[in-house]
A and B are shown apart, each in its own frame.
Chain A
Amino acid sequence: MRRGLMVSALGLAAIVAAGLFVTRAAPVDASAFDSLTGDAANGETVFTAAGCASCHAAPEATGDAKLVLAGGQRFGSDFGTFIAPNISPHPEAGIGSWSLGDFASALKNGVSPDGRHYYPAFPYTSYVHMTDQDVVDLWAFWQTLPEDATPSQPHKVGFPFNIRRSVGVWKQLYLSDDWVIANTPTPELERGRYLVEALAHCGECHTPRDALGGLDRSQWLAGAPNPTGRGQIPSLTPDDLTWGPTEIAYYLETGFTPDFDSAGGHMVAVIENFAKLPASDREAVAAYLKALQ
């Protein structure tokens, strides 16, 4: 009896230990990144395609002010309100004291330098697909950005979502470096997949989420309720989005739909970014969307 109790206790401890191990905040292997040399020019393209400034610039910032990543924009969700932090290169208020490994761990694993999980409002489940070279290039570009001393504000998230450890469990379910579309037979489709699934993180809004807030990849880009207000984020599947490839590319460049309505909401920021990318990137996104089944 006593022995049985011992075994049970040991078993429980083992389960707890295994659970803590599995849900720990694990950084990336920094050595993979340290051996690469950063190219700030490509880093700027990555920065634009990944839309960093769209969320981390100050609210209402426009033009060059968007390069000041002071944070402060608010993002409502079913789990609380997330407030984008200061990620400018300021050593105290921002991320100026980070190493390249810290930056890579944040982007690809959603892990902070002090070993905590980030909430997935930060789209690391998309950035996990980012190539190591692009991470290094992005970090090189980061060093050219202006510092800002605005302090980050805490997220407004209630129990139980304020237990960061629970994000470790969530990551076990939803953080995967598997692509949604496994086969990309042409370089254009591969680039389109990289833009849609990794950098531009289109699925974060255009794919519906399940009860735990994870993307339902079986309904990839099939449209979803608008998380921050009324209305519906449209479906991009070929059955629903009947625009031709040139029409999709033109929309990403100008914001005009084929019947010359114009984009609104968060898509405005997305188009502002896509308009700065090469035409071939907009065409690659169109090709990827047309290839969806």
Chain B
Amino acid sequence: MKKHLTFAVALAALGCGTAAFAQDDFSAQLKARQGQFRIMAINLGILGGMAQGKMDYDADAAQAAADTLVAVSTIQQGPMWPEGSDNMSIDGTRAQPTIWEQNDDFLSKWSDFGTAAQAMQAAASGGVEALGPVMGQIGGACKACHDTHRAPAN
């Protein structure tokens, strides 16, 4: 009997938890995950600007940008992508349900970004010529994921 009660209470608690979860607008998670992509874009802008010759090459600045990309790639992604925070369920996101349906694919593509970021970390202070090809590798990683998992902007 006592065991049953414990079970019922646990179940009720779980029910409440789920309900609270469902009411969450996930605004904190959206800000966090969109913010990390913004950090990536700003630092890619530094490296890409140098690669294109729009700004002078500066080995220290390039290295700092590449190090930041690697740092972003090490942020654990799971807590920022709760179930139900896709673009079919809530507004304010372009995250496709495929992120959850094909989660292994999503995480493998995120890991590809990490690999590309490390390649940039190794290349960044070695001269401007090295930046272009690695930018291509990073761009490939971005596109590969956005191809499937991000919806077009409205």
Are B42 and A260 within 8 A (Cβ)?
A: yes
Task: Tell me the minimal C-beta distance from A156 to chain B in angstroms.
Answer: 21
How far is A262 from B76 in the complex, measured between Cα atoms in Å? 21
Are B152 and A255 within 8 A (Cβ)?
A: no
Knowing A254-B139, A255-B142 touch, does A269 contact B154 (C-beta < 8 A)? Answer: no
How far is A263 from B146 in the complex, measured between Cα atoms in Å? 7
Knowing A250-B52, A259-B45 touch, does A271 contact B143 (C-beta < 8 A)? Answer: yes
How far is A225 from B139 in the complex, measured between Cα atoms in Å? 26
Knowing A260-B48, A262-B139 touch, does A232 contact B42 (C-beta < 8 A)? Answer: no
Are B152 and A230 within 8 A (Cβ)?
A: yes
In this complex, how many residues of chain B approach chain A with their Cβ under 8 Å: the count is 24
Question: CB of A264 within 8 A of chain B?
Answer: yes
Task: Find chain B residues with CB under 8 A from A271 CB.
Answer: 143
Knowing A256-B139, A260-B45, A261-B41 touch, does A231 contact B144 (C-beta < 8 A)? Answer: no
Contact with A along B15-46 (1 / 0, CB 8 A): 00000000000000000000001001110110
Task: Tell me the minimal C-beta distance from A253 to chain B in angstroms.
Answer: 8
Are B143 and A262 within 8 A (Cβ)?
A: yes
Question: CB of A229 within 8 A of chain B?
Answer: yes
Are A231 and B151 within 8 A (Cβ)?
A: yes
Contact with B along A227-243 (1 / 0, CB 8 A): 00111111000000000
Contact with B along A266-280 (1 / 0, CB 8 A): 001101100000000
How far is A269 from B146 in the complex, measured between Cα atoms in Å? 11
Report the contact-size class of chain A (Cβ under 8 Å from the partner).
20 to 34
How far is A231 from B91 in the complex, measured between Cα atoms in Å? 12
Q: When the two chains form the complex, which single residue of B40, B42, B143, B153 contacts A231, counting CB atoms closer than 8 Å?
A: B153
Knowing A262-B139, A265-B147, A268-B143 touch, does A256 contact B152 (C-beta < 8 A)? Answer: no
Among A250, A260, A269, the most chain B Cβ lie within 10 Å of the Cβ of: A260
Q: When the two chains form the complex, which single residue of A230, A250, A268 contacts B151, counting CB atoms closer than 8 Å?
A: A230
Contact with A along B132-154 (1 / 0, CB 8 A): 00011001101110110011111
How far is A259 from B142 in the complex, measured between Cα atoms in Å? 14
Are A232 and B152 within 8 A (Cβ)?
A: yes
Closest B residue to A250 by beta carbon equals B52
How far is A256 from B46 in the complex, measured between Cα atoms in Å? 13
Q: When the two chains form the complex, which single residue of B42, B52, B146 contacts A268, counting CB atoms closer than 8 Å?
A: B146
Contact with B along A112-156 (1 / 0, CB 8 A): 000000000000000000000000000000000000000000000
Task: Find chain A residues with CB under 8 A from B42 CB.
Answer: 260
Among B77-113, those with CB < 8 Å from A are 87, 94
How far is A250 from B53 in the complex, measured between Cα atoms in Å? 12
Task: Find chain A residues with CB under 8 A from B48 CB.
Answer: 254, 256, 260
Are A269 and B147 within 8 A (Cβ)?
A: yes
Q: When the two chains form the complex, which single residue of A229, A230, A256, A264 contacts B147, counting CB atoms closer than 8 Å?
A: A264
Task: Find chain A residues with CB under 8 A from B143 CB.
Answer: 255, 262-264, 268, 271-272
Given contacts A263-B143, A264-B147, A264-B150, 15 further A-B contacts (CB under 8 A): A230-B151, A230-B152, A231-B152, A233-B152, A234-B153, A254-B135, A254-B136, A255-B142, A260-B40, A262-B143, A264-B143, A264-B146, A265-B147, A265-B150, A268-B147
Closest 8 CB pairs of A and B: A264-B146, A231-B152, A262-B142, A268-B147, A260-B44, A260-B41, A254-B139, A268-B143
Q: List 11 A-B contacts (CB under 8 A).
A: A226-B151, A230-B151, A231-B154, A232-B153, A232-B154, A246-B52, A255-B142, A262-B139, A262-B146, A264-B94, A265-B151
List chain B positions with a Cβ less than 8 A from chain A.
37, 40-42, 44-45, 48, 52, 87, 94, 135-136, 139-140, 142-144, 146-147, 150-154
